[in-house]
Structure formats: C-alpha cells, structure tokens
C-alpha cells in the first residue's frame, strides 16, 4: 500500500467548508444602481416628512399666492351687475374676504356660496376676467307681499323668506298677510286672491286664522270668513265676487252696510252688520204695528 493509503480504521481528513453562494439574476452594476435609487427615495421621503412637519409646503403656497399678486394677477376690480337692493359693499366683502386677493387662487365656488347667504340674493354667478377683474352677476329675489307678525312688518318673497323691514313704504302696493307662519302660505294666498280679480283692489289684508284658513279684510272694514280647504275657499271667494258684481250701486255688500260675511258652511252665507240690525229692527216694528185679523 502506498504512503497515500489510509490506514485501516483511521479518520479521513476534514475539508474546509465552502461559503454558500447564490447566483443573482442581475449584474452587480445594475444592482448597485437600484440600491442607490432606493436610498435616494427614502432620503427624499424623509425630507418631505420633515418639511411638512415644519410647515414648509404651506409657506411655499402662501409665497406662491403673494408672487402671483406681485406679478399683477391680483383682484383689483370687482364688476357687479344685477343688484338693486343688495348693497355693493356687502357684495365686495363677500368677494374679497382675504388679505391676499390673488386672481388665480380665489375660490369662486366659496365666493358664490357666501353671496347666496345675503338676504336678497336668489342666485349669483362669479367669474375671472384676467388680468385683474372679478365679474359677479346677481339675481335678486322679488318681494310679493308684506308679512305682519308680532308687531312688525317684513317684505317677503314667493317662498316666504323675509327680505327686509326697512323703507317698506316702497312696497305699499303689495298684498298684506297677517298671522303666525302666514309667510309660509303666501303662495297659497296669492293663488286664492287670483280667483277674484275684481275684489283684489278692495282687499286690505289676508289673515291666517288658527293656521288653517283665511279671513279676507276689505278696505271698507268688512271681514269675509272662508272655509279651511283651498278648493272650498277659492269657490266661496269666487261666489262672493260674482254676487258683489251683480248687485246695484245701492245694494252692494261692501261699503259699510255690513260688517261680516261668514261662508265657512257650504252653500251658506251668514251676514252681520248695521244693515242686518236695521232690517231686524224694522221687522220688529212692523210686527208690533200689525193689527190682529178677525175672521
């Protein structure tokens, strides 16, 4: 046996362990480039987080607003059309609420919403007219009646919204509604009075009674009580108008001969007033003067 042969029973020599290796699918240069990009991204994200915590983006945004204003893109003029009752100053205050009125960063939707909160404004459109003009068009509400309640008067629109209680003499020709929540029924009231156009000039007010029905007040002092449903009230008022139109000048229902007409019951009209009292007194006198008849 050669010298290289192992002796029987001897332990074979140990070999040094080789390190485990993995074959990568990319080249080393490409791998290093990917690692560098990842590290740079992490650094960038960290910087953004720190900047956000320090308020840098907000300051940059504010500076951008000031820069556009310095460059001439600032609201200098406000062109307002359509307003008659709404004060120009009130509109400008809503349109220019900030200290930096930069043209490009003005929130038109917010400005419009603020304008709609003004009492007279029914609708509004807001637009930019570069380089320095904000264009605003106002559509105002139209007063349709005067609402008397709790010792005060308000001009109201068709929805019942109070518009103003100032200088109401300019609305003296509008119909008057009286009573709690009568403003919410103004559309119903206007539809009711429209069935009797010949009587409208003689009406002084419509009174909502118990939140259910209407009393008509006339300028000559009479009161007409109507039923509590819209259809029945319209029919009763129409009948009354036709009856009044068919009477001669010396027999008119309106004009002081009567005080009250009650048409709440279907097909009936209960009448009260001086003419009725005189008629009753005359009937009583006639009854006393009648001589008994002998058969």
Same domain, 239 and 150: yes
Residues in the chain: 295
Q: What is the average per-residue pLDDT within 161-177?
A: 97
Per the structure, how many domains does the chain have? 3
Whether the pLDDT of residue 1 is over 50: the answer is: no
12 vs 20 pLDDT, higher one: 12
Q: What is the pLDDT of residues 28-75, one digit of tens each?
A: 565 566 555 555 545 554 655 565 555 545 554 455 555 555 555 899
Whether the pLDDT of residue 282 is over 90: the answer is: no
Same domain, 167 and 110: no
Same domain, 119 and 179: no
Same domain, 172 and 186: yes
Same domain, 38 and 110: no
Whether the pLDDT of residue 228 is over 70: the answer is: yes
Same domain, 237 and 160: yes
Same domain, 238 and 274: yes
Percent of the chain with pLDDT over 90: 63
Domain that holds residue 58: 30-68
222 vs 8 pLDDT, higher one: 222
Q: What is the pLDDT of residues 111-155, one digit of tens each?
A: 999 999 999 999 999 999 999 999 999 999 999 999 999 999 999
Closest by CA to 238, choosing from 192, 184, 292, is: 192
CA dihedral angle for residue 277, residue 281, residue 284, residue 285, rounded to 10 degrees: -170
Q: What is the pLDDT of residues 95-105, one digit of tens each?
A: 998 767 898 88
In a domain, 192, yes or no: yes
Q: What is the pLDDT of residue 98?
A: 75
Q: What is the pLDDT of residue 43?
A: 54
Q: What is the pLDDT of residues 39-50, one digit of tens each?
A: 554 555 465 556
In a domain, 151, yes or no: yes
In a domain, 191, yes or no: yes
In a domain, 244, yes or no: yes
Same domain, 160 and 258: yes
Q: What is the pLDDT of residue 240?
A: 98
Q: What is the average per-residue pLDDT within 240-253?
A: 94
Same domain, 133 and 38: no
Same domain, 259 and 231: yes
């Amino acid at each position: 046996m050669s010298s290289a042969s192992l002796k029987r029973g001897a332990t074979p020599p140990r070999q040094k362990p080789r390190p485990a290796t993995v074959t990568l699918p990319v080249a080393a240069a490409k791998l290093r480039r990917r690692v560098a990009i990842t590290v740079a991204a992490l650094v960038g994200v960290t910087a953004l987080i720190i900047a956000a915590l320090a308020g840098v983006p907000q300051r940059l945004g504010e500076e951008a607003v000031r820069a556009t204003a310095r460059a001439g893109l600032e609201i200098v003029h406000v062109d307002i059309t359509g307003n008659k009752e709404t004060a120009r100053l009130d509109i400008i205050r809503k349109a220019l609420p900030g200290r930096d009125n930069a043209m490009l960063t003005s929130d038109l939707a917010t400005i419009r919403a603020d304008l709609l909160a003004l009492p007279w404004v029914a609708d509004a459109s807001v637009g930019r007219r570069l380089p320095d003009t904000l264009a605003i068009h106002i559509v105002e509400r139209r007063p349709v009646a005067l609402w008397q309640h709790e010792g005060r008067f308000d001009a109201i629109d068709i929805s019942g919204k109070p518009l103003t209680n100032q200088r109401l003499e300019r609305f003296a020709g509008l119909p008057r509604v009286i009573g709690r929540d009568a403003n919410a029924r103004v559309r119903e009231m206007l539809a009711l009075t429209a069935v009797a156009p010949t009587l409208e000039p003689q009406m002084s007010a419509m009174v909502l009674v118990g939140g259910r029905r209407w009393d008509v007040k006339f300028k000559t002092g009479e009161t007409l009580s109507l039923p509590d449903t819209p259809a029945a009230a319209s029919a009763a008022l129409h009948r009354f108008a036709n009856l009044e139109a068919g009477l001669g000048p010396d027999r008119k229902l309106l004009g002081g001969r009567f005080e009250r007409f009650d048409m709440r019951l279907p097909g009936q009209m209960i009448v009260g007033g001086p003419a009725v009292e005189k008629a009753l007194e005359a009937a009583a006198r006639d009854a006393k003067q009648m001589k008994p008849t002998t058969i």
